[in-house]
């Protein structure tokens, strides 16, 4: 407080003094010139003129000294500011604890980051993807379906068990069996653009990709390399003994989902808002190559997040309801899988609930889609 008062006053005094010195000095120069043009006057006042010249030099020297002093003080001020900022950033820097549910880092760390602007833009791209890439999108219109990243990565990817991004910065690049290659973060982001958003990949060097990367880097603040904080991703819903049942799921859907997502799964406008409840199936939903098309991902997502208001510690669906409604929704029509020919170069590594053959086992496609899954897992353990 005292310094924040002290410095502006100091600046004012230094600037005023320097200005006054330059002004007086300039007047003296003018005066000396005028007098020396008059030969008689100059002859009579030689001594006074000499004093004035010395005074003029002294004043000019004073102005120079004050300017140098002012610059030194400014530099000092800048350093002090940086030092404080560093201390404040350190004070709110998250301390990693593998036992504790991880949450988003303090906003202060984003606002005072070198890439503060990019982080903010990245967050908005995640939350309001439609505004940039949707029907009337300002970056690249009509290049995705009707979803925002945030519809599936809740609270812009910062919610416990809301499919958050806390482990992205810490665990990529990573080998992924789906592509059979080492995947970078931009590649993984574009996976969701092409599958969950059934759209076009982003230019990996463009400002939008760089903003999303900056945002995810900030979200991963304090997470040690390789670590996956508690509460990352989705909950794992215990397997049923039976196959998940789309018919039972239809009843769950009608009573607990249709009011927001629409009786035909097409989504609905939100009352008193320009936003929409997102579609769950149909042309404007995720395609068959998306993560949610795997039953275990869908069940894990809804168990901890749906109907809206549910959470991992206050779920509103039983395990059976979560699996059955997943089976119902994923039995409805949606855009086809665009990458069947290239995904899973090693078929033996397919996820147990990857619903497209061929497989390295003898379980039918239908069982890979709806379960029961325990026998499939047991087969691969052997």
292 and 301 in contact (C-beta within 8 Å)?
yes
State which residue, 56 or 195, has the beta carbon closest to ligand HEC: 195
Q: How many residues does the chain have?
A: 382
Q: Give the nearest distance from C-beta 272 to ligand HEC in angstroms.
A: 14
At closest approach, how far in Å is the CB of 7 from ligand HEC?
43
Residues 82-141 that bind ligand HEC (CB under 6 A): 129
Q: How far is CA 143 from the centre of its chain?
A: 20
> One symbol per residue from 264 to 293: x for binding ligand HEC (CB under 6 A), - otherwise; what is it?
-------------xxxx-----x---xxx-
**Bridge-partner residues for 80, per DSSP?**
none
Is-contact 179 289, C-beta < 8 A?
A: no
Nearest to 289 by CA among 174, 190, 153: 190
Q: Which is nearer to ligand HEC, 136 or 273 (CB)?
A: 273
Whole-number minimum distance, CB 289 to ligand HEC, in Å?
A: 11
Q: What angle do CA 242, 243, 248 make, to 5 degrees?
A: 100
Nearer to ligand HEC, 63 or 152 (CB): 152
Site for ligand HEC in 186-225 (CB under 6 A): 188-189, 192-193, 196-197, 212
DSSP E strands, the chain: 174-176, 181-183, 268-269, 276-277
List 94, 207, 233, 372, residue binding ligand HEC (CB under 6 A): 233
| Count of residues interacting with ligand HEC (CB under 6 A) | 43
- What is the b/e burial string over 75-95, where b = at least 16 CB atoms within 10 angstroms of the residue's CB? eebeeeeeeeeeeeeeeeebe
Rounded to whole angstroms, what are the CA distances from 374 to 175, 235, 242? 25, 17, 9
CB of 374 to ligand HEC, least distance (A): 19
Under rule CB under 6 A, residue 168 binds ligand HEC: yes
Closest CA relative to residue 201, chosen from 123, 289, 99: 289
Among the listed ranges 47-55, 236-244, 255-263, 363-371, the one in contact with ligand HEC (CB under 6 A) is 255-263
| 56 vs 373, beta carbon nearer ligand HEC | 373
**In terms of CB distance, is 21 or 267 closer to ligand HEC?**
267
Q: Which of 66, 104, 119, 152 binds ligand HEC (CB under 6 A)?
A: 152
Least Å distance between CB 324 and ligand HEC?
Answer: 10
Least distance to ligand HEC, CB of residue 182, Å: 14
What the block records as the tokens of 230 is 């508690």
| DSSP output for 54-80 | HHHHHHHHHHHHHHHHHHHHHHHHHHH
Work out how close the CB of 20 gets to ligand HEC at its nearest, in angstroms, rounded to a whole number.
59
> Which of 63, 154, 219, 250 forms a contact with ligand HEC (CB under 6 A)?
154
Residues 322-351 that bind ligand HEC (CB under 6 A): 325
Distances (CA, A) of 220 to 168, 210, 216, 253, 258: 7, 15, 6, 35, 35
Query: By the 8 A CB rule, do 130 and 262 touch?
Result: no
Give the residues lining the site for ligand HEC (CB under 6 A): 129, 147, 149-154, 163, 165, 167-168, 188-189, 192-193, 196-197, 212, 233-234, 252, 256-257, 259-261, 277-280, 286, 290-292, 297, 301-302, 306-308, 317, 325
């Amino acid at each position: 407080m005292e310094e924040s008062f002290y410095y502006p006053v100091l600046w004012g005094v230094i600037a005023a003094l320097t200005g006054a010195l330059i002004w007086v000095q300039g007047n003296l120069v003018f005066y000396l010139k005028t007098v020396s043009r008059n030969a008689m006057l100059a002859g009579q006042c030689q001594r006074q003129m000499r004093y004035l010249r010395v005074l003029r030099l002294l004043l000019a020297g004073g102005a120079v000294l004050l300017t140098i002093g002012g610059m030194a003080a400014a530099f000092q001020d800048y350093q002090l500011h940086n030092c404080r900022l560093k201390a404040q950033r350190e004070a709110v820097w998250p301390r990693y604890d593998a036992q504790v549910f991880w949450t988003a880092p303090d906003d202060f760390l984003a606002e005072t980051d070198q890439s503060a602007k990019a982080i903010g833009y990245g967050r908005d791209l995640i939350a309001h993807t439609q505004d940039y890439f949707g029907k009337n999108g300002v970056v690249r219109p009509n290049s995705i379906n009707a979803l925002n990243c945030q519809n599936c990565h809740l609270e812009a990817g910062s919610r416990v068990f809301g499919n958050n991004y806390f482990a992205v910065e810490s665990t990529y690049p990573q080998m992924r069996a789906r592509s059979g290659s080492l995947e970078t973060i931009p590649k993984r982001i574009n996976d969701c653009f092409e599958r969950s958003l059934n759209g076009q990949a982003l230019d990996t060097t463009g400002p939008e990709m760089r903003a999303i990367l900056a945002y995810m880097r900030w979200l991963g603040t304090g997470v040690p390399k390789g670590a996956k904080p508690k509460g990352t991703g989705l909950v794992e819903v215990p397997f049923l003994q039976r196959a998940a049942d789309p018919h039972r799921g239809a009843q769950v859907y009608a009573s607990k989902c249709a009011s927001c997502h629409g009786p035909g799964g097409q989504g609905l406008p939100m009352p008193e808002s320009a936003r929409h409840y997102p579609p769950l199936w149909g042309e404007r939903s995720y395609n068959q190559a998306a993560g949610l098309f795997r039953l275990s991902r869908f069940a894990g997502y809804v168990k901890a997040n749906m109907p809206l208001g549910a959470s991992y510690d206050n779920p509103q669906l039983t395990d059976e309801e979560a699996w059955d409604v997943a089976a119902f929704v994923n039995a409805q029509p949606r855009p086809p899988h665009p990458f069947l020919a290239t995904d899973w170069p090693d078929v033996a590594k397919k996820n147990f609930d990857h619903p497209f053959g061929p497989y390295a086992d003898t379980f039918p496609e239908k069982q890979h889609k709806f379960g029961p899954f325990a026998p499939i897992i047991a087969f691969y353990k052997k």
